[in-house]
Structure formats: structure tokens, C-alpha cells
Structure 1
Amino acid sequence: MKKTSLQTKPYMLNDGEQRFESLGVLVSIMASAEQTGGAFNLFNILLPLGYETPLHIHYAEDVAIHVLEGALDIFWGDEKQRAEVGSFFFQPRGTPHGFRVIGTAHARISYMTVPSGFDEFVIACGKPFNDLEAMMLEARFKIETLGSLPALDKEKK
């Protein structure tokens, strides 16, 4: 992780000012490693209906998710919970987790990682890469992909 000097001046960003596509979603980096002196990253992420992450582990950072719009099924360890607007989820590093957008519309989340450094991964994943490059990125940023999330429940929710 690159060490930077602490942001000494207040700043303000409006959502969308720094929006780009990465990993199949629209991401706005609201607080970068440089702006927070390495303390944390904060992202505003717009997720399409049906989007899902793989089941994966972050070894270098804790993850916090606040659902602003829509609904997610969040998986961690052997558990699954429904997260709707206003829900907050904290994922300590080292535990398998992932999420899937459910319902009838997109979802929007605030996504924080502590400490910072995940912003560099998100930026790197905004560029085309092959399978080998993907594995190298995961190794560099200490992320392990375990596979797909469990299948959708047959019942309607």
C-alpha cells in the first residue's frame, strides 16, 4: 500500500464527478488513499439488477457496506442476510463474503475499506485484463476468489 500524506484541506465531491466503470458496476471514488492519508477509501457504487460478486476474501482491509437504494443478499461465512435500504454490513478482513443485487431494480451502496489501498484495485479493474492479469491483481491486493455465490433461492422474496 502506498503511503501518502494526510489530506490537509477539506474537499467536497458530488456523486458522479469521478464515476467510471469497473468490475461491471459504476463506481465513484469519494475518498481515495491520497485524500485520506491512507486511512480509508470510500466509494459510491451503482449496481445493476442481478449483479453479484464472487465469494471472496479481503486479507488487507475491512469492508463496510451501507445500502442506499435497492436490496442485496449478503453472504459471509456460512450465513446469508437480506440487506435493504438503510442496512449496514461490516465485514472484517479474512472472512469469505459476497453479495447479489435482488428485487426489481438496481442498488446503490456506500462502500468503505479500512485501511485504504482498495481504490488502486478498483481503478486497475476498470481497464481490460486477461485471466492471468486478474490473478496477479488479486495477489497484489491480497484478495482471494473462492467461487460463485450460492444459487438463488427458488422462492420469491
Structure 2
Amino acid sequence: MSMPYLAQADQQETLEWLHGGTFSVLLDGQATDGQLTVGRFRVTKGEAPPFHLHTREDEVFLLIQGSALLWVGDEQMELSDGGIVYLPRNVPHGYRITSDTADLLMITTPSGIEGMFRHAGRDVTTDRPNGFEISNDVLAEAADLYGQVIVGPPR
């Protein structure tokens, strides 16, 4: 049985992510006995991960604030404040932020995807190396290690 878990904002791990945005690990597999991961992105206009799919987990993506274009398979749609989407595993998807800033909540089940963010990202509480960026090679390596498949460039 899982134990209740509480982490205040100042106790949550925050990683520098793509395009200088951040990804905060709100709940990980250790906190949820492997059941789910909850993370929060704070990003700016143009942020777009590669077109990808998850082989191990299903994803729920909630756009708390902002706007984005979302691609699921061959379909394109718009997502705005409060919009939510369910992305089953093995369904290719991607997004591009169209607002100046965006606040996104990601929930995946089961947990594990947080390892990819930790592998490629950088803990914001540590000194930032000069020229830090998440290269395509590092992102591909992290994706491969944690069951993500990059199927194309950002859209």
C-alpha cells in the first residue's frame, strides 16, 4: 500500500528543461510507489519537444495557463487555458507553445518518465555550467533509456 506523500513547493525538484524552461517533479515513482509521476512545466513561446511517443506510460496533459498547438498522430488541434488531453502510450504526439508563457501539468501512469527529465535536465539549485543546453544527442539518449521514442523533429 502506498503511503501519503506531501512536498511543499520549496521541496520539489526543479530542472532546467528545453529552451530554458523548467520542469518541476511534483510527485515521482518513489513518492507514489511507482503508480504515477506528476510534473509541471513553466515554459515560454516556441517551446516544443520532438514529436515522440511513450512506450511505458499513458499521459494526461493539462494546460493550466497559456496556449499551444498540439499534434496527436496526424491531427492538429489548439489547446488553451484549462484544456486537457489524454495521450495513451504508443500514440505519437507533440506540441508548440504559442502564448508568451505557459504553465502545464503532466501526469503519467505508471511512473518512471521523471528519470528522462533528470537524465537530460539540470537541477536549478546547482551552478549552471557555461553554455548549458540539452543537446539532441542527450535528449535522444534520455528518451531511449526511459521508453520514449523520438519519431520526428519538433513541429
TM over 0.5: yes
- In 2, the alpha carbon distance for the partners of 1:16 and 1:84 equals 29
For 1:114, the aligned partner's letter is: T
Per-residue CA distance 1:82-128 (angstroms, 9 max, x = gap): 1100100110000110000013x111100111100001111111147
Report deviation, 1:22: 2.3
SS at match of 1:136: helix
Displaced runs of 4 or more, over 3 A:
127-136
Q: Does 1:112 align with 2:117?
A: no
Report deviation, 1:71: 0.4
For 2:151, the aligned partner's letter is: L
Report deviation, 1:14: 2.0
CA shift in 2, pair 1:140/1:65, >3 Å: same
Judge conservation of contact 1:23–1:125 (CA < 8 Å) in 2.
Answer: no
For 1:125, the aligned partner's letter is: A
For normalisation by structure 1, the TM-score amounts to 0.82
- In 2, the alpha carbon distance for the partners of 1:130 and 1:148 equals 13
Q: Which has the higher helix share?
A: 2
Structure 2, unaligned runs of 5 or more: 123-131
Judge conservation of contact 1:15–1:44 (CA < 8 Å) in 2.
Answer: no
Structure 1, unaligned runs of 5 or more: 151-157
SS at match of 1:75: strand
* Correspondence for 2:152: 147
Aligned residue among 30, 34, 43 for 1:47: 43
Judge conservation of contact 1:15–1:28 (CA < 8 Å) in 2.
Answer: no
Matches within 5 A, 1:125-144: 125-127=120-122, 132-144=137-149
* Rg (Cα) greater in structure: 1
How many residues matched?
Answer: 144
Choose 89-98 or 132-141, whichever is displaced more. Answer: 132-141
Q: Does 1:59 align with 2:59?
A: no
- Aligned identity (percent) is 21
- In 1, the alpha carbon distance for the partners of 2:60 and 2:10 equals 18
For normalisation by structure 2, the TM-score amounts to 0.83
For 2:9, the aligned partner's letter is: N
CA shift in 2, pair 1:80/1:16, >3 Å: farther
CA shift in 2, pair 1:111/1:15, >3 Å: farther
* Correspondence for 1:22: 17
